[in-house]
Structure 1
Amino acid sequence: MGLFFNIFVAVFASIGSFLFGYDSGIIASVITFDHFKAFVNDPGNYDSLSGAVVSTFTGGCFFGAALAGWTNDRFGRKRSIQLGATIALWGCAMQAGANNLACMLIGRIVAGFAIGILSMTVPLYNTEIAPPKIRGFIVGLAQQMIGIGFIVANWVGYGCKFLGSDTQWRLPLGLQLIPASMLLIGIQFMPYSPRWLLEQGRDEEARQVVNLLHGRPSSNSDAKNQELADQEFNQMQETIKAELNVRSRSLSDLWATPAMVKRTLVAVGVQVFGQFSGINVINYFGPTMYKTLGLSDGQALLVQGIYGAVGPITNFFFITLVLDTVGRKKPLMFGAGSFVVTYSILTAIVASFPPDESTNLAAQRAGIAMIFMTSIFFSVSFGPVSWTLASEVFPTRTRSIGTSVATCANWAFNVLFSQVSNLAMNNISWRYYLIFIILNAIDFVIIAVLFPETKGKTLEEMNEVFGDSEIVIQHSGLDRKGINEKSDADGSDDKHVIEHV
């Protein structure tokens, strides 16, 4: 029961990630619709304006992720998810009902702000409710829901292609209201993060949540499970209470010590490197890329719909069977190396067989295959691992703000690529892909040399992984591995001290 409930909570919270995936997929279709082009009504500047429709959303995401660092500390993970869902309803309604381009762009910014909050909070929430041995799977469910949202969006977009009037683009944008409403109402019935509850001094509530996530004992076989729940809660409680003595909400904490600098660089790096994979270039501008390979508008949308199903299927098997076994570092290295290969082949194909000059069908198919392979490799590397690693490396006292900064870095580069990619593909064609070859080659080296392995560790054991501190807790005269606990000379207890070594 405990595992089932844990997975259910993570999946439901990840409806916020579904919204992210749906928007990424649906806007790729919407900007190709004839009725949307007529709505924009500026054929000469359509490439830059369609880029603005995409990038204003991602710009809003940046600021939403920045605010979420504060809201998660102040109001908790669950309330931050509700806030994101509420703002998403506002932004999606503005898009679907827009009567001019300015209203559309404002709606995109507002919706992006909401997704920024959700994209930072959902992995953080899932990280803090997950047992250490399956944390990769639990947090990876956020990426799974992004993929499912992308699948739904691509097929909705393909179906709406055949509609007449402005319903062609208003309907798919308006459908976002459904998952946003479900999330707003349903998350109220999900538990708070036990670690946030401990920070607020609500220890008994936190214990109840941990017991609920582990499952309530009903037989002798469950006694061991209860013991593990008690051990996890005690370690969580002792570490967090100790950290509260030195807690601050200063951004400078993220580079206060060499080890914190390493934590921050790893979290920011893995998010930025995920953007260097070029996956969102394909997600936003896939139909445009397929047209550069010689496909018609209808064929491009159909292929994009099929493409959208490949990643989530691969991601599901990876997070279920592989991620918590092989860890984080090896998949990241595999992904970066694979992207170098796929983009090298794609570059060679487009350079050797220009779509406006060649009708080589074999080359077209090979180019499409490389795009599909990029999705597969992303789904077994940066897709699930980036969200997992970025949210698990920080200590409790800086986890919200650290995850916020890492997510902001993700969205900053997302804005950059979403704004320039359409123009770059139209103006420099295959040369644009050279950037991704170089970036991923650099990523591979950095990950191999600097990134640690964090699989199987509790969030409180990350101090050991990064070698930055030893927690010294004075509590009840106990002595445990990795923690020196001793009573005061006068026999008093319940005093917690943290020392950085």
Structure 2
Amino acid sequence: MAIGNIYLISAIAVIGGGLFGFDISSMSAILPIQPYRCYFNQQGRDARGNCLGPRSDVQGGITASMAGGSWLGALVSGILTDKVGRKKAIMIGSIIWIIGSVISAASQNIAMLIVGRVINGFCVGICSAQVPVYISELCPPRLRGRLVGAQQWAITWGILIMFYISYGCSFLKGNAAFRIPWGLQAIPAVILLVGMLFLPESPRWLARKDRWEECKSVLVLVLGKGDPHSSLVAEEYAEIQAYCEFERQNADVSWMELFRPGMLNRTHIGVFTQIWSQLTGMNVMMYYITYVFTMAGLTGNNLLISSSIQYIINVLMTIPALLFVDRLGRRPVLLAGALLMATWQFANAGLLASYGHPAPPGGVDGIPEASWQIAGPPSKAVIACTYLFVASFAPTWGPVSWIYPPELFPLRVRGKAVALATSANWAFNFALGYFVPPAFVNIQWKTYLVFGVFCVAMFVHVFFLFPETAGKPLEEVEEMFLEGVPAWKTGVGLKGGHSGRAAAKLEKLGKVGGDGHGDGVESSPERLESAAVGKV
């Protein structure tokens, strides 16, 4: 029997996002340990006999390989989910993750490890693109920000849990120190696979396939709480019919539509939302935090425990966003996050430049990427600024980068648009994962300047070009773009009602739902918005 509670449905589905978190911290906790560095050693040993591990460019490639697979998976997900459905696409992703985890855990060389991580990434690409769509097409509109944003919270939990598993395994001797954590990554995917068996399919996907009885059954289960006579179910069913009819009349939807004049601006905003979320430097902090704290003088258990504190901050500071993001809106949250993160990036660059000095040849503790040293109170300030950076990202760009893009697009192109935006996220994740280890070696503290400049650039970009979408029906979002309303003049919720053109569109679609299918249910603006936007 399928589960109908939307909170439980979301809790199971967002495990797909949590898989990305598992991958991040399994790598960050393993990077400094000797069993890993010796098994995949390319640089020999230092004067104290410690293995130096893979070359910095190779380590960047190992880390980035997951994001490379995610980029491809995100692009493919748009086609996959249209063919087999949201639910089955996520289940396929979980099977792929299990295969990748097994290959990674059994890796005999760097090439095999990269193959395993690419396969893992393919799963993450599918799930990160389609879990938000799946949840949004099931949940009531009043919960859309909270439940879609829960994907980011699941990522933070995955990071935290896997870090402590990897930390515990770091005390093991031999290759088990890294093989066991990589093997344990398969467990959440098994839970996801089994859990998805008991979840319903998206009613919108079922409707697009003309499976109307199943569509209505899902609506009765999730929205009607088992009552087939619920007025909420009747209204929702009529609106799904209305939009399916509208889509049939506008069936010629291709990837090129995203780049036509009427849609190009939205495509650019959706894609850049995901690009900027990477260029904040947050995932650099997640993957390579042990390098940063090694430069600040932390070693051994102190290094790993101090690194884990930022993961706890990440989990806790995501909660305010889930509670208030629908009330505060998207723009203020994105602007505040960019400004705060720029502050901490520039502060770290200034501290390292003013109070630090180059590390001895070979880096601190035999880690070439730890090519700069800082000690005393300034080193504690670097650690504090790093924590503050994470606390600034977690309630802002973290969840909003998943919530915002789907709200920009109409139903007929949303699947392709979200897939494209998510693929941009993973393309830049790949680039940064590959770029940062050599950057720490070659430009050292100036790496922070690069990300600080990006944060300033995204602040300016958001202020001038990113309109507010929170609390708005699709038709008002349409009007903002069609009429060229300046982004800085938009606010949360309806402002003065719909324009004449928007009202005409609503009336037209409402008639399709009532007259065209004989249900006689008039679609209100609020209910029609939930159908059109897919409750994202």
Whether TM-score is above 0.5 comes out as yes
Match of 2:306 among 303, 307, 326: 303
The residue that corresponds to 1:133 in the other structure is 142
The residue that corresponds to 2:222 in the other structure is 213
Answer yes or no: is the 8 Å Cα contact 1:132–1:456 preserved in 2.
no
Q: CA deviation at 1:464?
A: 4.4
Q: Does 1:231 align with 2:243?
A: no
What is the identity, as a one-letter code, of the residue corresponding to 1:21?
Answer: G
What is the identity, as a one-letter code, of the residue corresponding to 2:467?
Answer: P
5+ residue gaps, structure 1, are 473-478, 496-501
Answer yes or no: is the 8 Å Cα contact 1:279–1:378 preserved in 2.
yes
Superposition pairs of residues 332-481 of structure 1, within 5 angstroms: 332-354=334-356, 356=359, 360-457=375-472, 462-467=477-482
Q: Distance in 2 between matches of 1:229 and 1:144?
A: 30
What is the RMSD computed on CA atoms of the aligned residues?
A: 2.7
5+ residue gaps, structure 2, are 45-53, 360-371, 484-497, 519-536
Q: Does 1:483 align with 2:507?
A: yes
Task: Indicate how the Cα distance of structure 1 residues 15 and 47 shifts in structure 2: closer, same or farther if over 3 A, else same.
Answer: same
Superposition pairs of residues 120-199 of structure 1, within 5 angstroms: 120-199=129-208
Task: Indicate how the Cα distance of structure 1 residues 79 and 427 shifts in structure 2: closer, same or farther if over 3 A, else same.
Answer: same
SS of the residue 1:43 aligns to: coil
Answer yes or no: is the 8 Å Cα contact 2:101–2:116 preserved in 1.
yes
Task: Indicate how the Cα distance of structure 1 residues 481 and 58 shifts in structure 2: closer, same or farther if over 3 A, else same.
Answer: closer
Q: CA deviation at 1:487?
A: 7.7
Structure 1 residues 387-429: Cα deviation after superposition (integer angstroms, max 9, x where no partner): 1112332222211111111011001110111001011112211
Task: Indicate how the Cα distance of structure 1 residues 493 and 121 shifts in structure 2: closer, same or farther if over 3 A, else same.
Answer: closer
Q: Distance in 2 between matches of 1:240 and 1:424?
A: 50
What is the identity, as a one-letter code, of the residue corresponding to 1:236?
Answer: I
SS of the residue 2:210 aligns to: coil
Answer yes or no: is the 8 Å Cα contact 1:158–1:301 preserved in 2.
yes
The residue that corresponds to 2:249 in the other structure is 245
What is the identity, as a one-letter code, of the residue corresponding to 1:8?
Answer: L
The residue that corresponds to 2:291 in the other structure is 288
Answer yes or no: is the 8 Å Cα contact 2:204–2:240 preserved in 1.
yes
SS of the residue 1:415 aligns to: helix
After superposing the two structures, state which structure 1 stretch, 152-161 or 55-64, moved more: 152-161
TM-score normalised to structure 1 length: 0.89
Q: CA deviation at 1:206?
A: 2.1
Superposition pairs of residues 88-127 of structure 1, within 5 angstroms: 88-127=97-136
Q: Distance in 2 between matches of 1:455 and 1:281?
A: 29
SS of the residue 1:484 aligns to: helix
Q: CA deviation at 1:486?
A: 9.0
Task: Indicate how the Cα distance of structure 1 residues 35 and 415 shifts in structure 2: closer, same or farther if over 3 A, else same.
Answer: same
What is the identity, as a one-letter code, of the residue corresponding to 1:382?
Answer: W
After superposing the two structures, state which structure 1 stretch, 2-11 or 136-145, moved more: 2-11
Q: Distance in 2 between matches of 1:9 and 1:200?
A: 22
SS of the residue 1:456 aligns to: coil
Q: CA deviation at 1:180?
A: 0.9
What is the identity, as a one-letter code, of the residue corresponding to 2:102?
Answer: A
The residue that corresponds to 1:266 in the other structure is 269
The residue that corresponds to 2:49 in the other structure is none
SS of the residue 2:153 aligns to: helix
Task: Indicate how the Cα distance of structure 1 residues 487 and 426 shifts in structure 2: closer, same or farther if over 3 A, else same.
Answer: closer
Q: CA deviation at 1:264?
A: 0.9
What is the identity, as a one-letter code, of the residue corresponding to 2:234?
Answer: D
SS of the residue 1:248 aligns to: coil
Answer yes or no: is the 8 Å Cα contact 2:246–2:509 preserved in 1.
no
Q: CA deviation at 1:161?
A: 1.6
Superposition pairs of residues 24-35 of structure 1, within 5 angstroms: 24-35=24-35
Structure 1 residues 65-118: Cα deviation after superposition (integer angstroms, max 9, x where no partner): 111010011111111101101111111000001122221111111111111111
The residue that corresponds to 1:499 in the other structure is none
Task: Indicate how the Cα distance of structure 1 residues 83 and 461 shifts in structure 2: closer, same or farther if over 3 A, else same.
Answer: farther
What is the identity, as a one-letter code, of the residue corresponding to 2:147?
Answer: I
After superposing the two structures, state which structure 1 stretch, 73-82 or 244-253, moved more: 244-253
Q: Distance in 2 between matches of 1:103 and 1:487?
A: 58
Q: Distance in 2 between matches of 1:230 and 1:457?
A: 23
What is the identity, as a one-letter code, of the residue corresponding to 2:429?
Answer: N
Q: Distance in 2 between matches of 1:213 and 1:393?
A: 25
Aligned residue pairs, count: 477
Q: CA deviation at 1:210?
A: 2.6
Q: Distance in 1 between matches of 2:396 and 2:406?
A: 16
Q: CA deviation at 1:309?
A: 0.9
Task: Indicate how the Cα distance of structure 1 residues 494 and 227 shifts in structure 2: closer, same or farther if over 3 A, else same.
Answer: closer
Give the share of equivalent positions with the same residue, in percent.
Answer: 31
Answer yes or no: is the 8 Å Cα contact 1:395–1:462 preserved in 2.
no
Structure 1 residues 446-465: Cα deviation after superposition (integer angstroms, max 9, x where no partner): 11111122222456764345
Task: Indicate how the Cα distance of structure 1 residues 359 and 76 shifts in structure 2: closer, same or farther if over 3 A, else same.
Answer: closer
